[in-house]
Amino acid sequence: GEDVEQSLFLSVREGDSSVINCTYTDSSSTYLYWYKQEPGAGLQLLTYIFSNMDMKQDQRLTVLLNKKDKHLSLRIADTQTGDSAIYFCAEILVSGAGSYQLTFGKGTKLSVIP
């Protein structure tokens, strides 16, 4: 089966940049996603990138994709205490009836130090 790997913890100081890394194994994945989960809450889609893109920027978020190495990263500029959460990367599999099944990494817990 496919595995999505992430480092489990990251700690940064407020105002610094955070970089969360992810590796995936399914080379056929067409879309890759970053989700944010705050304590006790569900998942919030932060951003996504199509596999034919190398980079996508959305305000403070920058996603880099190295398809050759199957490496995905999420950079958060000017990290704030409100960014403290668990971040999951996910890759997509197309299921039956055209629906999309996601495979998640284990999540990286980002702690922002004031």
Q: Compute the least distance from the CB of residue 109 to another protein, in Å.
A: 8
Nearer to another protein, 14 or 53 (CB): 53
Footprint on residues 52-111 left by another protein (CB under 8 A): 88, 92, 95-107, 109
Among 53, 58, 51, residue whose Cα is nearest residue 91: 51
Residue 48 in the binding site for another protein (CB under 8 A): yes
Torsion of CA 105, 27, 71, 5, to 10 degrees: 20
Q: Is 81 helix (H, G, I), strand (E, B) or coil?
A: helix
Interface ranges with another protein (CB under 8 A): 8, 30-31, 33, 40-43, 45, 48, 50, 88, 92, 95-107, 109
